[in-house]
Structure 1
Amino acid sequence: MLEGCKTAQERWGGVHEIIDRWLEQRRQLVEMWVYLRDRGEFTPTDTPKIQNLCEMMIDYVSAGHFTVYEQLAREAKEFHDDGAVTLLGQLLPLIEESTQVVIEFNDKYDTKAHCNAQLEALPFSLQAMTVMMMERFQYEDQLIRELHEAHSEKSA
């Protein structure tokens, strides 16, 4: 029994760290977002911060898709009898939709030339992205809560 607990902790303990790092990335992303959103008007001097936001968004969604969701999917398959795989199948397409919007935003603002050409539209783009990302965060939180936390309790 002790060995089973140790194995479960070894198996899923690292997932906590992955999720914690990812949520820290989210916090930093949101801080940058709020900073830019609250600026109102933008000038070419803001371009580096806007490009930084693009980088942070791409890093965040990439970490989600290529690290966090994969770990959650492994857990879901391990505990396949509790509906976790179904939930994953329902939420990942919704999250994927927002990923496409993030990529489009990045393509629109990722370079100095792109960014400077779109500065007037940036406040509207940021507002639209805020709404979409808030939905995404809710889906991700639901995945963490219903997949990882429930499975952590079962494996303990």
Structure 2
Amino acid sequence: MLRKLEKAQQKWGGANSLVDQWLEHRRKLLVNYCQVAGLPPYNAEEKTLPTIENIRAFCGLLVDYVSEGHFEVYDQLVTACEKHGQSSKALAQQLVPRISDTTDSALDFNDKYSEAESDKVLIQLDQDLSSLGHAMETRFALEDELLEVLHTKHS
């Protein structure tokens, strides 16, 4: 996911400050995800669970990223697509609901872990991170498709 993000930043970076900021927030989210999940290059020699505080910090980034997309970025991208023809508008209207479907996974993860009162909830962390990672990957691909429509047809 980080390599795909680098390609996205190379491709669309600099075209719009909102998109640049959004992609930078995605980068921070992904780095934090890798840290919490213990993925390279953040995997320790000794496998240990992250602290609840680290998971809560990740949850904050996750909710911020999801909210930024829904309440700031998508509206502007859809409006830009609408200005450039029916086919772009139609594609944007198809993509945004599919992106929204991935929001439930993010919010479910946040609800479960941001308010956890004991370490017992960490028993399911690996499985929940895996499911969340899949949803995030789907979300990022759909968001990139939306950006590609604007870039290809309207730049």
TM bucket, shorter chain:
0.7 to 0.9
Gaps of 5+ in 2: 1-13
Do the aligned residues in 2 keep the contact of 1:54 with 1:110 (CA within 8 Å)?
A: yes
Q: 2:109 aligns with which of 101, 105, 108?
A: 105
State the match for 1:42 in structure 2. 49
Q: Distance in 2 between matches of 1:89 and 1:117?
A: 41
Q: 1:143 aligns with which of 142, 146, 149?
A: 146
Q: Which amino acid aligns with 1:66?
A: F
Q: Which amino acid aligns with 1:134?
A: E
Give the match's secondary structure for 2:49: coil
Higher helix share: 1
Q: 1:73 aligns with which of 64, 74, 78?
A: 78
Higher relative contact order structure (alpha carbons within 8 Å, sequence separation ≥ 6): 1
Do the aligned residues in 1 keep the contact of 2:59 with 2:110 (CA within 8 Å)?
A: yes
Give the match's secondary structure for 2:16: helix
State the match for 1:118 in structure 2. 121
Identity of aligned residues (%): 31
Q: Kindly state the Cα deviation for residue 15 of structure 1 after the two structures are TM-superposed.
A: 7.2
State the match for 2:22 in structure 1. 22
Do the aligned residues in 2 keep the contact of 1:15 with 1:71 (CA within 8 Å)?
A: no
- How many residues are matched? 135
State the match for 2:60 in structure 1. 55
Q: Does 1:87 align with 2:87?
A: no
Give the match's secondary structure for 1:42: coil
Change (3 A) 1:144 1:134: same
Q: Kindly state the Cα deviation for residue 100 of structure 1 after the two structures are TM-superposed.
A: 1.1
Greater shift, 58-67 or 71-80, is seen at 71-80
TM-score under structure 2 length normalisation: 0.80
TM-score under structure 1 length normalisation: 0.80
Q: Kindly state the Cα deviation for residue 152 of structure 1 after the two structures are TM-superposed.
A: 4.2
Q: Kindly state the Cα deviation for residue 142 of structure 1 after the two structures are TM-superposed.
A: 0.6
Do the aligned residues in 1 keep the contact of 2:78 with 2:93 (CA within 8 Å)?
A: no
The RMSD of aligned alpha carbons is: 1.8
Gaps of 5+ in 1: 1-13
Q: Which amino acid aligns with 1:146?
A: V
Give the structure with higher Rg (CA).
Answer: 1
Q: Kindly state the Cα deviation for residue 117 of structure 1 after the two structures are TM-superposed.
A: 3.4
User: For 1:6-42, what per-residue CA distance to the aligned partner results, in whole angstroms no more than 9, with x for missing partners?
Assistant: xxxxxxxx97100100100000100010111115542
Q: Which amino acid aligns with 2:77?
A: L
Q: 2:134 aligns with which of 131, 136, 152?
A: 131
Do the aligned residues in 1 keep the contact of 2:84 with 2:154 (CA within 8 Å)?
A: no
